[in-house]
Amino acid sequence: MEKKYIGVGVIGLGVVAGQVSKVLHESEEFLSAQLGFPLKLKKVKVLPQDMNRPLAKVLPEGVLTTDEDDFFNTPGLDIVVEAIGGEYPAFNLLSRGLKMGKCVVTSNKEVIAKHAPELVKLARENNTGLRCEASVGGGIPLISPFQYDLAANHINGIYAIINGTTNYILTRMAKEGLDFETALKQAQSLGYAEANPSNDIEGTDAVYKLAIMASINFQCKVKPEDIYREGISRLTSRDFCYADELGFNIKLLAITKPGNGQIEARVHPVFLPKDEWLAKVDGVFNAVLVEGDLVGPVLFQGQGAGALATSSAVVADVLAAAQDIHLGVGNRMRWNMDKPLGIKPMSDILTRYYLRMTVTDSPGVLALIAKVLGDHNISISSVIQKETDEENLTAEIVIMTHPAKEASVQQALVELGGLDKVKDINNFVRVGI
C-alpha cells in the first residue's frame, strides 16, 4: 500500500528539539496544508530522564522512545531532525540517518562547522539531503539565501554580529556604563547567557557560524581552528567611554572576505562608526551584512537564538525536505568545498587600531611613542590624553591609527610595553571593517 504521508523523527527533547516536536505535533494540520500532503511526527528519541518532562506527556502515545535502533527503524520515517547540540553523538546520529537514506535536518553549528565535508559526502552518496539553516542564524534565513537567492553573486564580504549573548553584554556596557562582569551576570539572570558562557564570550560560537558561512560562500573547507578568535572579556567601561567620545560603538564581529587566492576569516571586537548599519544592532539581536558584486550590500537581521526563532528555521527545513521527498528529488545541495583557498594569516590583515595605554606624566612621552609607531610604519590619526593621575604621576592616552598591518602593530605593542615610560598597554581594538 502506498504511503500517504511524510514521517518525521526528532532526536532530543531539550529547548530547541522540544519546541520542534511541539510545533510538528500541534501544528500538523497547518503544516500539512502548507505542503498539500500529510506531514506526521512519527518518533522522538529521548534520554530516559526526559520521559517525565511536561512536554513528553502531551505528545501522542508511542511517539517517545529511548532506544536508538527503535527510532531509526520506525516504519515510515523519512526525515531525521537532530537538535541535541555538541559534536558527539550528534555526528554519529546524523551519519547513521544519511547512510539509511533519510534526509537529515540539524541546528547544530558545531557538528556542521567541524564535519560538513563528511556529511555532505554521505548525503550525496545516499542521494538524500542535509539541511542546516538554523545552525548559523537561528531564526534568520542565511544558508538558503547564500545557496539560492544570492547564488549569482561573487560575495565580496560578510560582516556579522552572530552571537546574541555577546551583543547583549556589549549593548549594556555601552548604554549603562556597566563593567563586563556585571553585564554578564545580568545576561545570565535573564537567560541570555549560559552558566558557563565561555563559548559565547570567547567567540567560539561565532567561529563555528563563520566557518559555515565562509565554506558555503567561498566553496572551500574552512576549519574552525584556522579562524582567528578573540572574545570580549578584556573590554572595559573605559573602552566604551572612549569609543563613544570618538563616535564609535563596539561590536563582536565575524568577518570573512576573499582576496588574492585566500580568504580572511576572523572573529574579534571592532570599533564601528555609529552611523553604520551593524553599529545600530543592539541587545540580543543578530545581523549579517553581505556584500555581493551584483546585489550590493544586503542586511539580514533578527533573533538569532532561542527556542521559537530556532524552531522556525528547523521546521522550515523539515517542510523543504518533505517537499523534495514528495517530488522524488534526492540530493540537490549547492555546497561544494573543493576550492584550494587558504586562510589569510592574521599578521597580514590591514586595518586601523585603537590603542589605550597608561604612561608616566613626563615630557617627551608622546614623542617616544610616536617614534616607536613610526619605526613600524604606523601613522597616528589622533591622540586623546585625559587628566593626570597626580598620586601615581601617570596619564592615560588613547591613540587612533591610520590603516596598518597587524604584524607591525603587534611588534610595536611589544616594544612599547618594554619602555619604562609606558606603564601598561591597557587595550587595543581593531577599527572598522
> Average pLDDT in the 100-123 region?
96
Output DSSP code: residue 389.
B
pLDDT in tens, 132-175: 999 999 889 999 999 999 999 999 999 999 999 999 999 999 99
Q: Are 272 and 432 in contact (CB under 8 A)?
A: yes
Q: Which of 268, 303, 338 is the last residue of a domain?
A: 303
Catalytic residue, chosen from 43, 45, 209, 344, is: 209
In this structure, the answer to whether residues 290 and 387 fall within a common structural domain is no
Instruction: Report residue 82's pLDDT band, with 50, 70 and 90 as the boundaries.
Output: very high
Burial group, residue 42, by CB count within 10 angstroms (0-12, 13-18, 19+) = buried
In this structure, the answer to whether residues 115 and 183 fall within a common structural domain is no
Domain of residue 245 covers 143-303
Q: Which of 303, 319, 336 is the last residue of a domain?
A: 303
Residue 371 lies in a domain: yes
Query: What was the pLDDT predicted at 2?
Result: 55
In this structure, the answer to whether residues 298 and 164 fall within a common structural domain is yes
Q: Other CB atoms closer than 10 Å to residue 226's CB: what's the count?
A: 13
Residue 130 lies in a domain: yes
pTM: 0.94
pLDDT in tens, 317-340: 999 999 999 998 877 777 888 888
**Is 3 an annotated catalytic residue?**
no
Residue 337 lies in a domain: no
Residue 304 has pLDDT above 80, yes or no: no
pLDDT in tens, 260-279: 889 999 999 999 999 999 99
User: What average pLDDT does the structure give for the chain?
Assistant: 94
Domain count, the chain: 3
Cα–Cα distance between 321 and 317 in angstroms, integer? 6
In this structure, the answer to whether residues 148 and 132 fall within a common structural domain is no
Query: What was the pLDDT predicted at 1?
Result: 41
- Location of C-alpha cell 521559537: 308
CATH number reported for the structural domain that contains residue 382 in this entry: 3.30.70.260
The residues near 249 (Cβ < 8 Å, ≥ 6 apart) are 174, 243, 271, 272, 274, 279, 280
Q: Are 141 and 310 in contact (CB under 8 A)?
A: no
Residue 340 lies in a domain: no
